[in-house]
Amino acid sequence: MINFNVPPCAPKAFDYIKECVDNHKICGDGAFTKKCNEWIEKKTGTKKCLLTTSCTHATEMAASLCNIKAGDEVIMPSYTFVSTADAFVIRGATPVFVDIRPDTMNIDEKLIEAAITPNTKAIVPVHYAGVSCEMDTIMDIAKRHNLKVIEDAAQGIMSTYKGKALGSIGDYGCFSFHETKNYSMGEGGALLISDESDVEAAEIIREKGTNRSKYYRGQIDKYTWIDWGSSYLPSDMNAAYLYAQLEMADEINNHRLMLWDMYYERLKPLMEKGAIELPTVPEGCVHNAHMFYIKAADIEERTRLENYLKKDNGIYAVFHYIPLHTSPAGKKFGRFFGEDRYTTKESERLLRLPMYYDLKPEEVEYICSKVTRFYN
């Protein structure tokens, strides 16, 4: 059997967790949280990184920092995970869904401007599969219309757009360290903040509305309740588990890229025959091999392929994202702008193949041979 995902575990993870326990510091903002923050700041060239309990929570923090309120509209793709919308719906805002580009499955930047109304406050590009959205265009639209940009870079750590790290381009960037992501702490995430003047407000939101972060740094002699906030700090034990992977981030990334390239090479003949489609990585984008997907002709063929791989060959391939605008909550809270040309159709064709650090080249070889057999 070949799993769809196996969460990464770095060799030093348990030593680091033990260090937290031995030092009697297992709550948030301990030594390993700080190491993770600094590592991410350095890697992405962003002003400030705050480790959070999830990407969902990082996005909620960004929505709060943008002062998103009831009646506001936020532009995003419908082909995304529910968190992208949840973080704004909790504040009473309306997600306005815009169609995607079929080549990258990312929001179609050419459709964004027409979806803007006087109520629009922010654009949320989702970098699907760790392949960047067309950020120059999106940042230009945001600037001209005075909108905030919150990058859902849940899948995008280690990826770049024209040399800039994903998550560091907009006003805020949100990473996920869920067990299904390239680097993991079980559940966790990070908020990247590009404007230094936002940092204090972000720290307050993350610390239950208090200025405890300032107190810990010795900048004030007691801490108090300043504003609304929640508890968005992960345990330092989780940060320790993550930090062990960040220390070997390039090794993990290179292995994934090697597997991704192998998939691409082995399946290219099927693409050339017109049997399937393979992912596109546009010029200027460097990706992180977050996922490898193929596109079948339609939902019926995809279902047959999925079953063939799983039932006949023990290979777990999965599809995802029922477009949000077609879901019960999406209908209740959001609306689709314009025509759904690609979102539904392309989502029904897409199948993700196994991809994780522990996956072996022989296994990729085996999977590709089975996909090829299915089509022959």
Ligand X SMILES: *Cc1c(COP(=O)(O)O)cnc(C)c1O
**Token pair of 234, please?**
């992960």
Pick the closer one to ligand X by CB: 84 or 235.
84
- Least separation in angstroms between residue 183's CB and ligand X is 12
Nearer to ligand X, 212 or 325 (CB): 325
CA distance 348 to 320: 9
Strand 94-98 and strand 73-77: the pairing is parallel
Nearest-approach distance from CB 159 to ligand X, in angstroms: 13
* Cα–Cα distance measured from residue 22 to residue 69, given in angstroms and rounded to the nearest whole number: 44
The sign of the CA dihedral 70, 88, 120, 49 is positive
Q: Report the residue number, 97 or 374, with the smaller CB distance to ligand X.
A: 97
Pick 267 or 317: Cβ nearer ligand X:
317
Q: Report the nearest approach of ligand X to the CB of residue 185 (Å).
A: 10
Residue number, 150 or 226, with CB nearest to ligand X: 150
10 Å CB burial of residue 114 (0-12, 13-18, 19+) is: exposed
CA 353 to chain centre: 18
User: Quick one: which of 353, 372, 349 has its CA closest to 301?
Assistant: 349
Is residue 210 classed as helix, strand or coil in its secondary structure? Answer: strand
Q: How far is the CB of 167 from ligand X (least distance, A)?
A: 12
Between CA 194 and CA 192 the distance in angstroms is 7
Smallest distance, ligand X to C-beta of residue 312, A: 29
Cβ contact 121:68 at 8 Å: yes
Cβ 83 vs Cβ 236: under 8 Å:
no
Shortest Cβ 68–ligand X spacing (Å): 17
Q: Residues in the site for ligand X, rule: CB under 6 A?
A: 54-56, 80-81, 83-84, 126, 152, 154-155, 176, 178, 189
Smaller CB distance to ligand X: residue 44 or 83?
83
